Amino acid sequence: MRTAQRLTRIPPYLFAELGRRRDEAIARGVDVIDLGVGDPDRPTPAPIVAQLAEEAKVAGYHRYPAYEGGGEFRGAAAAYMKRRFGVEVDARSQVMALIGSKEGLAHMVWALCDPGDVMLCAEPAYPVPRMHTLLCGGEPVTVPLLAERGWLPDLDAIPEAAARRAKALFLNYPNNPTAGVADLAFFERAVAFCRRWDILLVHDAAYAEVGFDGYRAPSVLEVPGAADVAIEFHSLSKTFNMTGWRLGWAAGSAEAARALGTIKTNTDSGQWTAIQAAGSFALNKLGPETIAETQAVYRQRRDVMVAALRAAGVEAAAPRATFYLWCPVPAGYDSAGFAAEVLAKAGVVVAPGTGYGACGEGYFRISLTVPDERLREAAARISRLR
């Protein structure tokens, strides 16, 4: 069989490789603590599961769903945007249902990128936009995120030649993997930058509801006129522990939503309407209380792990959002070497920073998706390596 040449441009997917190494260790009898993948360990709230059980009985939902998403779900997403961010979006023309935000981000690239086009990709970052730019034959241009800038990009440092050729700027706040946060003033600068260069601002807001210590993430669409140049991607995965359900939405630029819809309607048939109905129930009925409960769990885990790592001599900052810790690797290691040693000698999976691009060198990421006692055990094992 002869595969497409474009596949040679893509390295192995980080989380698939982490999973392979983890499974090999488990097969050897190692008690592995997996802090590598950002997959919540807590179950989807019972009322959402019960709602799906009822929706699954609706005979009309056993047929193909609406390509752009059902009216009920898109309406619930629009209502959430209004209630949470004070943002008005038209459910019919500015909201598109997704089979998870990962799918939406990938297809957004295909809707924008021709061979040779530039995509401005913040880094370190979730790798999907960069990888699909490569699959499209485009050119991902790195926009570095640096600790001294609070993990925010210096938009003024983007070369003019790259800005002129760029089709999109990909951002993600609260940020995976760094846990950096952005305020509305930053989004105002980002919108102005994209407007100046006729660039679409693509904002991944999957962690918008995972915030602590009084921090509430803003939406880029809160910037006046942002919907002219921006589209934002939201997910129920982290907010309601629904990663396996694969449900999210994009909201913002009607032109971008139409372009995304062209790719999607020629690629997939949409998420099952019963799942969309359960998602509507979650957004409409369970928001504040369920979100507060989830935030409390991750805040507790953050505090436990930060304290344990610091006691073990590992530098660890306490983030204001996401369920990740982004930590410098100890002296004498690079990112990949440290991750490999932690797995081989401590039975703990951490994500090497280079899995999120070259700018991630020197760091590793911990996902707070295991119970407190396993976090303490993981920190203790890491400390014994020092």
CB–CB of 155/193 below 8 Å?
Answer: yes
Q: Where are the domains of the chain?
A: 5-44+288-383, 46-285
Helices (H) and strands (E) in the chain, counts: 12, 12
Amino acid of residue 219: S
Give the CA count within 13 Å in the CB-facing half-sphere of 299. 14
The bridge status of strand 351-352 relative to strand 118-123 is: unpaired
Strand partners, 325: 366
CATH class of 46-285: alpha beta
CB–CB of 287/280 below 8 Å?
Answer: no
CA distances from 356 to 14, 131, 260 (A): 8, 11, 25
Strand partners, 321: 211
Strand partners, 95: 251
CB–CB of 240/44 below 8 Å?
Answer: yes
3-state SS, residue 92: coil
Radius of gyration in angstroms for the set of CA atoms belonging to the chain, rounded to a whole number: 21
Residue 332 backbone class (left: φ over 0; alpha: ψ -120 to 50; beta: rest): left
Rounded Cα distance between 77 and 55, Å, is 18
Q: Sign of the C-alpha dihedral, residues 333, 335, 339, 342?
A: positive
Rounded Cα distance between 329 and 325, Å, is 12
Is this structure's pTM higher than 0.85?
yes
Question: Which CATH code is given to the segment(s) 5-44+288-383?
Answer: 3.90.1150.10
Rounded Cα distance between 191 and 232, Å, is 12
Work out the end-to-end distance of the chain between its first and last CA atoms, rounded to an integer number of angstroms. Answer: 48
pLDDT in tens, the chain (386 residues): 999 999 998 887 666 777 788 899 899 999 999 999 889 999 999 999 999 999 999 999 999 999 899 999 999 999 999 999 999 999 999 999 999 999 999 999 999 999 999 999 999 999 999 999 999 999 999 999 999 999 999 999 999 999 999 999 999 999 999 999 999 999 999 999 999 999 999 999 999 999 999 999 999 999 999 999 999 999 999 999 999 999 999 999 999 999 999 999 999 999 999 999 999 999 999 978 889 999 999 999 999 999 999 988 888 999 999 999 999 998 889 998 999 899 989 999 999 999 999 999 999 999 999 999 999 999 899 888 86
CB–CB of 234/203 below 8 Å?
Answer: no
